């Protein structure tokens, strides 16, 4: 068993029309010190997967079935109080859009200080914040600044400080560079690499940018319509993608084309959870679809070191 083990996770939303299943049988494991990139189009369930792990689902969402293990502890069965001891202490999370998560009424340092789980004297907490600020490239003076006084990159460094202040074993990074310019994105990625290596963190790195996942992650899990359709080593995923959706994502990358060449796209529309087709959810967009694809949802199959959901295999 890995440090994190997710087994057949199903998450639903309560709607006026009834239960709407959005995570449809997620299986995923992350080893100690491993970085796994979770890749897919917006709305496919990537963030919901992370929120399920830390049990911070939206009010109308609930875990219908499945198991989530962290270091052998089953998280789904824990009480709210027990989960609060895990959250932050064992699992840290970096959210996208830091300005939406930082309280404008409190200083950056005060918010990081509040995240400390240990019962320490005020002076010790402040000392620990100063130490983590130095690690992430912030100054002591930034402790006393309010979020609006910080740039987007500095706000994200504050969020990284909050995620790592308790020295967790697992880091969930949800599109941590989405709102940043290219230069700042590179700085934040390099910072994360350094901290992950220093603390031997296991990481679930969520992104819609498959090329970023390739450069950052050890393995990549490709998600479509609430299912993981392929998992494999980053290099293998790029050099020899198996699932038609993965092939489409790789073929859409601009770096594969010369100037003036037309970039390929994946045809059709993104799957709608309220109106998923029978069989494989990707079949309306798939160039390889067969009759069975319209009838039967493919099961996960192991091919070498990879796992794929496709009737081609």
Q: What CATH number is associated with residue 58?
A: 3.40.50.300
- Sheet arrangement for strand 35-39: 91-94, 170-174, 202-207, 35-39, 219-224, 227-233, 306-309, 300-303
Task: Look at 21-30, 108-117, 178-187, 243-252 and tell me which has the smallest mean pLDDT.
Answer: 178-187
Average pLDDT (164-184) is 91
Q: Which domain holds residue 202?
A: 4-90+168-309
Confidence (pLDDT) at 78: 96
Q: Is residue 163 part of a domain?
A: no
Q: Give which of 91, 92, 85 is closest to 163, Cα–Cα.
A: 92
> Quick one: average pLDDT of 45-66?
97
The pTM (predicted TM-score) of the whole model is 0.93
If one compares 219 and 95, the residue with the highest pLDDT of the two is 219
Structure-token pair, residue 144: 């006393």
Residue 99's pLDDT is 85
Please state, rounded to an integer, the average pLDDT across all residues of the chain. 93
Q: Report which of residues 63 and 267 the model is more confident about.
A: 63
* 181 falls within a domain: yes
Phi, psi torsion values for 292, nearest 5 degrees: -60, -30
Q: What local confidence, expressed as pLDDT, does residue 26 receive?
A: 98
Q: What is the pLDDT of residues 286-307, one digit of tens each?
A: 999 999 999 999 999 999 999 9
Sign of the Cα torsion 78, 96, 272, 238 reads: negative
Query: Using 50, 70 and 90 to split pLDDT, how confident is the model at 181?
Result: confident
Around Cβ 308, how many Cβ atoms within 10 Å? 21
Q: Could you tell me which of 119, 122, 112 has the C-alpha nearest to residue 92?
A: 112
pLDDT digit string (tens) for 121-135? 999 999 999 999 999
294 occurs within a structural domain: yes
Q: How far is CA 17 from CA 11, 41, 226, in A?
A: 16, 25, 19
**Which residue would you say has higher pLDDT here, 62 or 209?**
62
In a domain, 137, yes or no: no
Residue 291 falls within a domain, yes or no?
yes
Residue 1's pLDDT is 65
Read off the pLDDT band of 188 (50, 70, 90): very high
Distance CA(47)–CA(53), nearest Å, equals: 10
- 87 token code pair: 């959250």
- State what percent of residues in the chain have pLDDT above 90: 82
Q: How many domains does the chain have?
A: 1
Percent of the chain with pLDDT over 70: 99
């Amino acid at each position: 068993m890995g440090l994190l083990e997710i087994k057949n996770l199903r998450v639903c939303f309560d709607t006026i029309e009834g239960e709407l299943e959005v995570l449809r049988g997620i299986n995923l494991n992350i080893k100690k010190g491993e970085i796994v990139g979770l890749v897919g189009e917006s709305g496919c369930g990537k963030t919901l997967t992370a929120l399920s792990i830390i049990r911070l689902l939206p009010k109308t969402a609930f875990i219908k079935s499945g198991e989530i293990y962290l270091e052998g502890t089953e998280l789904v069965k824990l009480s709210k109080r027990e989960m609060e001891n895990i959250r932050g202490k064992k699992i840290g999370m970096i959210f996208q859009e830091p300005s939406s998560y930082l309280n404008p009424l409190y200083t950056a340092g005060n918010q990081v200080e509040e995240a400390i789980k240990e019962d320490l004297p005020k002076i010790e907490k402040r000392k620990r914040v100063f130490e983590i600020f130095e690690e992430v490239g912030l100054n002591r003076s930034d402790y006393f600044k309010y979020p609006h006084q910080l740039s987007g990159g500095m706000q994200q460094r504050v969020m990284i400080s909050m995620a790592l202040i308790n020295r967790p074993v697992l880091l969930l990074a949800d599109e941590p560079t989405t709102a940043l310019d290219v230069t700042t994105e590179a700085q934040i990625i390099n910072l994360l690499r350094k901290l992950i290596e220093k603390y031997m963190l296991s990481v679930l790195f969520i992104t819609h940018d498959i090329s970023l996942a390739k450069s950052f992650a050890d393995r990549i899990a490709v998600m479509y319509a609430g299912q993981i359709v392929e998992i494999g080593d980053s290099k293998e995923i790029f050099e020899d993608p198996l699932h038609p959706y993965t092939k489409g994502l790789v073929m859409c990358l601009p770096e594969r084309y010369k100037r003036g060449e037309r970039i390929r796209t994946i045809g059709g529309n993104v799957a709608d959870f309220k109106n998923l087709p029978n069989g494989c959810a990707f079949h309306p967009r798939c160039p390889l679809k067969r009759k069975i694809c319209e009838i039967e949802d493919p099961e996960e199959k192991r091919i070498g070191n990879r796992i794929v959901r496709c009737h081609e295999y």
